């Protein structure tokens, strides 16, 4: 089973790594145009789309769990119907985003405090990139479906293809046609639609035989749609709690001073790097747990969960050592600002604790998604956010300052793992009883 886990996890890790890589390339291109305004424009515009697509991430997570269970039950009809439902709601959601672009503009830029010059460029970026929404959400849905079908290679192929096309298009529009942040937005739109086309081609290549099991009458099965929406509503609430916590962390960092904001922004990148890596195993958990629950295979369900946590420990230990003993080198990889580097050093201890404290929450997330046990995921985030993170912050911020902010964040992550562990006997291991 270790081979199965790695076969699923490694392509997902590669897919995840492409996400921050593209962002770094975009920043590198904008950073060489002679003005910080262009960096600010894609930062503000990118923040809006990161929030939108985070809210719609249920299209990937919900789809993978339901599909994996259908795969495990050898239910070809439900597998293809799940694809159809997910794509339908992805395209509908994308069109709705385009139709609501003006209200989204007003709300978003009223919350984001950018200079007038930056907002002008950010709006230009926003009004171009928003037309990628149907393709972007369609890719989320298809990636979740492929993962549910125990196929992590196709999402990896699509992710790599999108990022290569995006980078080449950005270089062409910015350096070839002398466009600015609008060129980066247009490159993203083109890459997303080409990526969606590639995902469709890959689906047809391997899974077109499933189209024979399509039943139009079952497409809008009310009981199954009700469960689909129930699970996805829970996932949306869970995701909003996570977004709120990270946004609150950043906002409180900014309230302290610009140096602390820079310090915490740099250090958070290493939090995200570890989360991207561990999510590869979380995606493997979605595939395997859903499959074994669908097949009602309790022994392999328990074995897969045990091995997934062993892999979580295996990857967290070396990252802890790297973060603890390689802190200075890591800081200099992201910034050459000596003031930020010196100010960051007292807080490296918290980054050193990140792998060991957070891996359980990431692995459990994948397990619960595979089991479509969304209610305890939702409840866990609500408890961790409002009964752990916020009280800890307000108790610790005055005596400990930025150390208190970091401690509150790590307590939030630790409590997620604890709550999900406590909820598991009733929601995961006995789910077939």
Which of 252-256, 375-379, 404-408 is predicted with the least confidence, judged by mean pLDDT?
252-256
Q: Which residues of 35-58 are buried (b: 16+ CB within 10 A; e: fewer)?
A: eebbbbbbbbbbbbbebbbeebbb
pLDDT for position 123:
85
- Alpha carbons 181 and 122: distance in angstroms, whole number: 8
Q: Does the residue 229 lie in any domain?
A: yes
Which of 66-70, 264-268, 373-377, 394-398 is predicted with the least confidence, judged by mean pLDDT?
264-268
Question: Nearest CA to 144 among 90, 191, 190?
Answer: 90
Q: Does the residue 288 lie in any domain?
A: yes
Residue at token pair 């790594």: 17
216 CB burial (10 A radius; 0-12, 13-18, 19+): exposed
Kindly state whether residues 169 and 227 are assigned to the same domain: no
Q: Does the residue 18 lie in any domain?
A: yes
pLDDT for position 156:
92
Q: Does the residue 2 lie in any domain?
A: no
Give the tens place of pLDDT for each residue, 39-60.
667 767 777 887 888 888 888 8
Give the number of other CB atoms < 10 A from CB of residue 398. Answer: 8
Q: Band of the pLDDT at 431, cuts 50, 70, 90?
A: low
Average pLDDT over all residues of the chain: 86
Average pLDDT rounded to a whole number, residues 171-177: 85
What distance lies between CA 141 and its chain's CA centroid?
A: 13
What is the count of structural domains for the chain?
A: 2
- Alpha carbons 149 and 169: distance in angstroms, whole number: 32
Kindly state whether residues 282 and 427 are assigned to the same domain: yes
Give the tens place of pLDDT for each residue, 301-344.
999 999 999 999 999 999 899 888 887 787 777 666 677 778 88
Average pLDDT rounded to a whole number, residues 374-390: 95
Query: The whole model's pTM is what?
Result: 0.85
Q: From 168, 196, 220, give the residue that closes a domain.
A: 220
Average pLDDT rounded to a whole number, residues 360-378: 93
Torsion, Cα 374 378 381 382, to 10 degrees, reads: -170
Residue 126 domain boundaries: 7-220
Kindly state whether residues 240 and 143 are assigned to the same domain: no
Average pLDDT rounded to a whole number, residues 283-299: 91
Kindly state whether residues 216 and 355 are assigned to the same domain: no
Kindly state whether residues 216 and 237 are assigned to the same domain: no
Give the tens place of pLDDT for each residue, 25-42.
666 666 556 555 666 677
Kindly state whether residues 97 and 193 are assigned to the same domain: yes
Give the tens place of pLDDT for each residue, 183-234.
888 998 999 999 999 999 999 999 999 998 888 777 777 777 888 888 888 9
Within the chain, what is the greatest distance between any pair of CA atoms?
Answer: 65
Kindly state whether residues 235 and 326 are assigned to the same domain: yes
Percentage with pLDDT > 70 across the chain: 92
Kindly state whether residues 127 and 174 are assigned to the same domain: yes
Q: Does the residue 1 lie in any domain?
A: no
3-state SS record for the chain:
CHHHHHHHHHHHHHHHHHHHHHHHHHHHHHCCCCCHHHHHHHHHHHHHHHHHHHHCCHHHHHHHHHHHHHHHCCCHHHHHHHHHHHHHHHHHHHHHHHHCHHHHHHHHHHHCCCCHHHHHHHHHHHHHHHHHHHHHHHHHHHHHHHHHCCCCHHHHHHHHHHHHHHHHHHHHHHHHCCCCHHHHHHHHHHHHHHHHHHHHHHHHHHHHHHHHHCCHHHHCCHHHHHHHHHHHHHHHHHHHHHHHHHHHHHHHHHHHCHHHHHHHHHHHHHHHHHHHHHHHHHHHHHHHHHHHHHCCCHHHHHHHHHHHHHHHHHHHHHHHHHHHHCHHHHHHHHCCCHHHHHHHHHHHHHHHHHHHHHHHHHHHHHHHHHCCCHHHHHHHHHHHHHHHHHHHHHHHHHHHCHHHHHHHHHHHHHHHHHHHHHHHHHHHHCCCC
- Alpha carbons 179 and 103: distance in angstroms, whole number: 27
Does 429 or 364 have the greater pLDDT score?
364
Q: Does the residue 191 lie in any domain?
A: yes
Average pLDDT rounded to a whole number, residues 266-285: 86
318 CB burial (10 A radius; 0-12, 13-18, 19+): exposed
Kindly state whether residues 107 and 163 are assigned to the same domain: yes
Q: From 169, 200, 220, give the residue that closes a domain.
A: 220
Q: Band of the pLDDT at 433, cuts 50, 70, 90?
A: very low
Q: Band of the pLDDT at 76, cuts 50, 70, 90?
A: very high
């Amino acid at each position: 089973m270790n081979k199965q886990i790695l076969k699923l996890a490694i392509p997902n890790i590669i897919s995840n790594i492409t996400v921050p890589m593209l962002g770094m390339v975009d920043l590198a291109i904008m950073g060489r145009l002679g003005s910080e305004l262009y960096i600010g424009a894609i930062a503000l515009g990118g923040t809006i789309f990161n929030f939108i697509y985070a809210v719609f991430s249920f299209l990937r997570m919900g789809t993978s769990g339901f599909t994996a269970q259908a795969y495990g039950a050898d239910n070809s009809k439900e597998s293809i119907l799940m694809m159809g439902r997910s794509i339908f709601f992805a395209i509908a959601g994308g069109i709705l985003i385009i139709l609501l672009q003006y209200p989204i503009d007003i709300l978003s830029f009223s919350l984001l405090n950018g200079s007038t010059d930056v907002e002008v460029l950010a709006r230009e970026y926003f009004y171009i990139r928003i037309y990628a929404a149907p393709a972007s959400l369609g890719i989320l849905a298809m990636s979740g479906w492929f993962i549910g079908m125990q196929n992590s290679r196709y999402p990896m192929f699509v992710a790599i293809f999108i990022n290569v096309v995006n980078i080449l298009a950005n270089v062409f529009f910015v350096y070839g046609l002398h466009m600015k942040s609008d060129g980066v937005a247009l490159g993203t739109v083109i890459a997303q639609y080409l990526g969606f086309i590639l995902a469709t081609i890959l689906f047809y290549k391997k899974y077109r035989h499933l189209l024979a099991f399509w039943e139009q009458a079952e497409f809008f099965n009310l009981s199954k749609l009700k469960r689909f929406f129930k699970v996805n509503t829970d996932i949306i609430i869970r995701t909003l709690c996570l977004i709120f916590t990270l946004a609150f962390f950043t906002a409180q960092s900014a309230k302290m001073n610009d140096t602390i904001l820079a310090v915490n922004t740099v250090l958070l990148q290493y939090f995200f790097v570890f989360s991207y890596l561990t999510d590869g195993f979380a995606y493997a958990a979605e595939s395997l747990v859903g499959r074994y629950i669908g097949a009602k295979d309790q022994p392999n369900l328990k074995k897969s969960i045990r091995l997934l946590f062993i892999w979580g420990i295996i990857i967290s230990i070396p990252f802890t050592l790297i973060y603890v003993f390689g802190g200075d080198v890591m800081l200099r990889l992201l910034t050459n600002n000596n003031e930020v580097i010196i100010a960051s050093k007292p807080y490296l201890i918290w980054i050193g604790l990140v792998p060991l404290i957070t891996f359980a929450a990431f692995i459990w997330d994948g397990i619960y998604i595979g089991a479509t046990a969304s209610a305890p995921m939702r409840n866990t985030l609500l408890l961790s956010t409002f009964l752990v993170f916020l009280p800890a912050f307000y108790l610790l911020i005055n005596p400990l300052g930025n150390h208190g902010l970091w401690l509150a964040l790590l307590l939030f992550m630790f409590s997620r793992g604890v709550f999900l562990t406590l909820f598991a006997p009733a929601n995961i291991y006995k789910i077939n009883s």
